[in-house]
Structure 1
Amino acid sequence: MAGTPSMDDCIRNCTDCHTICLETVAHCLTKGGAHAEAGHIRLLLDCVDICRTSADFMTRGSRFHHLTCGACAEICAACADDCDRMTDDSMMKRCAEMCRRCAESCRSMSSMAA
């Protein structure tokens, strides 16, 4: 299973999502107000960590990757919804789109048997 196009795509999506969410944290803290709300920042950081973890599990061929991918799909979907609340911000829109792409590929990977 390691090295299949869908897994490679998922690893890439997780890595890209990790980066964009980390950039978004910095953006939100600079912007302040609702963007810097503790719950929003915490969710972004949850997304950063689970994306990195899922990518790592898949890269090393862990038989438990379907578990981390399942959690990643849920957290990314929640993060996308949260980012969508701030409709007047292109960075938030970019983050939401990447989180949705990652959630979709992780959902697919989570259904694959180990």
Structure 2
Amino acid sequence: MTVTSDMLRACPADLGAADRAALADCIDRCLDCVQACTACADACLAEDTVGELRACIRACLDCADICDATARILSRRTGHGADVALDVLAACAVACEACAGQCARHAGCHEHCAVCAEACRRCAEACRTLLETLS
């Protein structure tokens, strides 16, 4: 069990059609991705080839921001607008795939990019899974 799962279970609000396990997994994957992308952007800044990593840094920072927003929106279930959640989940999956693609270009040279790309892929998958359960 994670804190996310515990909080969803303890919440008295009706979660509607949401699969609690898929919801908790998506929130946790988003938060993991925030950490990975933030740390990867910082690690890229420390590389000697930082000039070649600008697009990767930008993708990581954009992805971290949208994953953070997605986790927060999904965590607020009281009076929640389903349309907003669906749109945010779709956008998060797109941002994660874009970031994974950027990081994959450098994964052979920079381990932090390999780790980040994998976190992004897992997050995109969790977003798509939750989208399926909510649609």
Query: Normalising by the residue count of structure 2, what TM-score does the alignment of the two structures yield?
Result: 0.77
Aligned partners of 1:3 and 1:56: how far apart in 2? 17
In structure 1, what is the equivalent of residue 21 of structure 2? Answer: 5
Note if 1:93 corresponds to 2:109.
Answer: no
Q: Secondary structure at the match of 2:109?
A: coil
Q: Which moved more, 1:4-13 or 1:58-67?
A: 58-67
**Aligned-residue RMSD, C-alpha:** 1.7
**Which structure's CA Rg is the greater one?**
2
Moved over 4 A (4+): none
Task: Please give the per-residue CA displacement for 1:54-94, whole angstroms capped at 9, x wherever unaligned.
Answer: 00110002322111110000110111111010112221111
Runs (5+) with no aligned partner, structure 2: 1-14
Aligned partners of 1:43 and 1:35: how far apart in 2? 14
Percent identity between the two aligned chains: 35
Contact 2:89/2:127, CA 8 A, preserved across alignment? yes
Runs (5+) with no aligned partner, structure 1: none
Q: Which moved more, 1:12-21 or 1:30-39?
A: 30-39
Aligned partners of 1:88 and 1:36: how far apart in 2? 12
Distance 1:28 1:56, change over 3 A: same
Residues matched between the structures, number: 113
